[in-house]
A and B are shown apart, each in its own frame.
Chain A
């Protein structure tokens, strides 16, 4: 039974990723109830229950997508070391459960905005591997036409608002998106994500005040991976309970390595935000890589710590154990799935490598918009055109 399901899946692998997992509804929706690993800790609200409704298809989808994300990040690591990706590259491996759990309960109308660790969230919002790698390598088929880079992935049609380099600046933007959702009465929410380092920014408290004042449907998600680049959270924050930082805003602390806990928390948060205004979710998660590719990640933490987390709390291992224990697939089938994923990623990389660099004239496009009412000129009232050598 598991095998037949898997063969139907392997037909699906040649489909573009966005259709492959855009929906979690599938032929097999045998419901499964899964207990989260830890109870939720709540601040000023009643925590949701630990029992999460799921289905067999969802379980397999979670595994597949997280494995894909993990593989993508590892491949980006090799590409960076091969100097095909330059500049800054912040990798998300270890934190995949947050992206997956969130996507499971929201629609494309709900907005997500995050900081620079955005590759996997972009993928979750429906981006393709090809767009990711093309953008990382600065090619013209990248999601931002090669002009944004690792830290500037956006997908307007899926309400993914990026992709921001300046720590903390995306949170007021997220409140603005929530404001707009309320203004046009859209019944959607905004997830504004930030890290434990950014949690100490003043603009966050300004944004919280604004959101709570006007009951904006914004959900502030703190991805607490315990390190703000090289500074451990106990050295940077007087109060490391980020979910309580909202004071008058309710908060929930979630095990961010458990995709089902994330799913339950996000579902709870969405219902809360639509009725009562902002809520803070603190995802207790971990990143295996350093802060970025230029940071080895071992000068401020021990290798034992990293491998310890990998052994005990790895999100993909957890799902794998669940899949095996519920007898949805065999070890071999999962290994085959991983092999196919590896091939898919390699194919996307090869295709992206073949893509050309942006045209020189692209340097000057998209600086201004030619909109109704005004024309924008450079000096001498002519459009600035250039042919670079």
Chain B
């Protein structure tokens, strides 16, 4: 049913850490976070309108010099120097801090306890908090997801881990009917403050069943929120926000992003669950992306900048609901939209986002919204074929050139 993913299976497990070359990941090892980010720290509900305005630094000339080149992150400038860690460690930190803070938070999933998690996200937690709070479940996604939801109805705050997002398809009934709908059908009596998380996305030759993108399947479920993390900074922030949220939140991680390294602040912070992240302000075109495709986009942005374009890159982060405020402001500025996603072409997040943008911002568009998604095929095993199922930076460059004619 579910293949156990051992470290070193090529999916970026911690054991491969020392030999892991970030450049191979077609991503800069540090993200370019504007200084204004520091204002969001320790604020729970970010004053979104102010922050995004200040993020538009303005002049394209100034930006081209900084664009898409790894710079020293100035995020932790205010107080301490911050500390550097990998994305899975950031997730672990967030989880540990929340478990320290609230005794109702518990973790359940396959191999999260003694094994430490198949991607080491829960490493060391079972020793610290005990077997009941970091629960090793048998292989029964339907039952342990249901169990987490039942526990949440009484007031616990479980974090349910799917070893791979694809396995959560077995728990779809519990997630759709019980998790999403119970707050509504009980007339508000029960809240379900669960976090369902796990790695998904196309990895390195993992095969069709272990390379699924479930965002598209879950997006219509009413009552849940979906977020996708992409950097250690927002991974920790989103994990903490998701745990504190009273709504059920599905946190999508990506198999290939677990070993990204970044310096994050020492002090406590939370990322707003419904907010998009401005990665690179620009003037010519808005590129909307999330999760791993952010790095493909940033690599394409390097090429684009050298060719004279000025793309504005937004990591939408919140897959349900969309942050149409940030996206809308961007569209009103650039008038061109390109969506780059890893979901399938049919019925994916990009399809919904295209519809939402067309409905709401039609008057501001100078060109049709273009959406680059993965091909509608099961992910093949062969490396060359697998590369062609997802969007590559070269395709992004071509699409921008086409849109900006």
Chain A: CB-nearest residue to B242: A374
Question: Contact at A378–B143, with CB atoms within 8 Å?
Answer: no
User: For the complex, is B380 an interface residue (Cβ under 8 Å from A)?
Assistant: no
Q: Mark B172-205, 1 if CB is under 8 A from A, else 0.
A: 0110011000111111111101000000000000
Given that A152-B185, A367-B222, A371-B244 are contacting pairs, would A376 and B321 also be in contact in the complex, using a CB cutoff of 8 Å?
yes
Assembly CA distance A202 to B144 (angstroms)? 13
Check if B273 is an interface residue, CB within 8 A of chain A. Answer: yes
Query: Complex Cα distance A311/B48, Å?
Result: 70
Q: Which of A145, A147, A209, A367 makes the CB contact (< 8 A) with B138?
A: A209
State whether A148 and B140 are in contact (beta carbons under 8 Å apart), knowing that A169-B173, A169-B177, A176-B151 are contacts in the complex: no
B21 at the interface (CB under 8 A from A): no
B268 contacts which chain A residues (CB < 8 A)?
none
Does chain B have a CB within 8 A of A30? no
Q: Does A206 contact B (CB under 8 A)?
A: yes
What's the minimum C-beta distance from A118 to chain B, rounded to whole angstroms? 12
User: Is B22 in the interface zone, CB < 8 Å from A?
Assistant: no
Task: Find out whether the CB atom of B274 lies under 8 angstroms from the CB atom of A177.
Answer: no
Answer whether A373 and B270 are a contact pair too, CB < 8 Å, given A145-B187, A379-B360.
yes
Interface size on B, residues (CB 8 A): 60
A145: which B residues are within 8 A, CB to CB? Answer: 187-188
Q: Are B150 and A203 in contact (CB under 8 A)?
A: no
B73 within 8 A of A: no
Interface segment, one of A59-67, A157-165, A223-231, A301-309: A157-165
Residue contact A375 to B45, C-beta cutoff 8 Å: yes
Q: Does B282 contact A (CB under 8 A)?
A: no
Q: Which A residues are in CB contact (< 8 Å) with B246?
A: 369-372, 374
> How far is it, in angstroms, between the C-alpha of A206 and the C-alpha of B142 when the chains are bound?
8
A380 to B245, CA, bound (A): 20
Residue of B132, B174, B184 near A172 (CB, 8 A) is: B174
Query: In this complex, which of A148, A182, A366 has the most chain B Cβ atoms within 10 angstroms of its Cβ?
Result: A366
Asked whether A173 lies within 8 Å of B245 as measured between CB atoms, the reply is: no
Q: How far is the CB of B53 from chain A (nearest CB, A)?
A: 14
- Binary CB contact string for chain A from 176 to 207 against chain B (1 if under 8 A, 0 otherwise): 11011111100000000000000000110011
A132 to B73, CA, bound (A): 60
Interchain CA distance A370-B244 in the complex, whole Å = 11
CB pair B143 A179 closer than 8 Å: no
B178 to A179, Cβ gap below 8 A?
no
- Contact call A381/B154, Cβ cutoff below 8 A: no
Question: A142 — which chain B residues lie within 8 A by C-beta?
Answer: 187
Q: A374's contact among B147, B189, B247, by CB below 8 Å, is which?
A: B247
Compute how far the CA of A380 lies from the CA of B48 in the bound complex, rounded to whole angstroms.
Answer: 12
Q: Which residues of A contact B323 (CB under 8 A)?
A: 381
A210 and B273 CA atoms in complex are apart in Å by 33
Instruction: Report if A162-B186 is in contact (Cβ < 8 Å); known contacts: A368-B225, A376-B321.
Output: yes
> A214 to chain B: which residues have CB within 8 Å?
132, 135
B315: shortest Cβ distance to chain A, in Å? 17
A1 contacts across to B, CB distance below 8 A = none
- Bound state CA distance, A313 and B140, in angstroms? 40
A2 interface contact, C-beta 8 A = no
- CB-defined contacts of B184 to chain A, threshold 8 Å: 147, 366-367
Contact check: which of A156, A171, A206, A379 meets B321 at CB < 8 Å? A379
Across the two chains, which residue of chain A brings its CB closest to B273?
A: A374
| Chain A residues, Cβ within 8 Å of B274 | 374-377, 381
**A161 touching B188, Cβ below 8 Å:** no
Inside 8 A of A377's CB, which chain B residues have their CB? 274, 321
| Choice from A143, A173, A207, A379 contacting B187 with Cβ under 8 Å | A143
Q: Given the complex of chains A and B, what is the CA–CA distance between A152 and B177 in angstroms?
A: 12
B residues in contact with A369, CB < 8 Å = 183, 188, 191, 246-247
Which listed residue, A113, A169, A381, touches B325 by the CB 8 Å rule? A381
Inter-chain contact B187/A374, CB cutoff 8 Å: no
Interface: A144 (CB within 8 A): yes
Residues of A within 8 A of B241 (CB): 373-374
Q: Does A8 contact B (CB under 8 A)?
A: no
B residues less than 8 Å from A148 (CB atoms): 185-187
Whether A381 contacts B147 by the Cβ 8 Å rule is no
Is the C-beta of A174 less than 8 angstroms from some C-beta in chain B? yes
- Which residues of chain B are within 8 angstroms of A374 by Cβ–Cβ distance? 44-45, 225, 241, 244-247, 272-274
Contacts known (A177-B154, A372-B246); A367 close to B183, Cβ less than 8 A: yes
| Cβ–Cβ contact A176 & B270, under 8 A | no
- Cβ of B225 and Cβ of A203 under 8 Å apart? no
* A373–B140 touching, CB < 8 Å: no
* Of A142, A143, A144, A368, most B-chain CB atoms within 10 Å: A368
Once the chains are docked, how many angstroms separate the CA of A217 from the CA of B86? 40
* Contact of B190 with A175 in the complex, beta carbons under 8 Å: no
**Minimal beta-carbon separation of B78 from chain A (angstroms):** 22
B146→A173 contact, CB < 8 A: yes
Q: Are B223 and A176 in contact (CB under 8 A)?
A: no
A191 to B287, CA, bound (A): 52
Contact of A25 with B by CB under 8 A: no
A176/B148 in contact, CB under 8 A = yes
With the chains together, A174 CA to B151 CA distance in Å?
Answer: 8
Q: Using CB atoms, name the residue of chain B closest to A381.
A: B325
Answer whether residue B322 sits at the interface, using C-beta atoms and an 8 A cutoff. Answer: yes
Task: Give bound CA distance, A379 to B274, whole Å.
Answer: 10
Q: Are B360 and A376 in contact, CB atoms less than 8 angstroms apart?
A: no
Asked if B156 is at the interface of the complex by the 8 Å CB criterion, the answer is yes
Q: Which residues of A contact B (CB under 8 A)?
A: 111, 113, 142-149, 152, 154-156, 161-166, 169, 171-177, 179-184, 202-203, 206-207, 209-210, 213-214, 365-381
Instruction: Identify the 7 closest CB pairs spanning chains A and B, nearest first.
Output: A176-B150, A172-B146, A371-B246, A206-B143, A173-B150, A206-B140, A145-B187
Given contacts A161-B190, A173-B146, 13 further A-B contacts (CB under 8 A): A154-B185, A154-B189, A161-B150, A171-B146, A172-B144, A176-B152, A182-B132, A203-B143, A367-B184, A369-B247, A373-B273, A374-B246, A380-B360
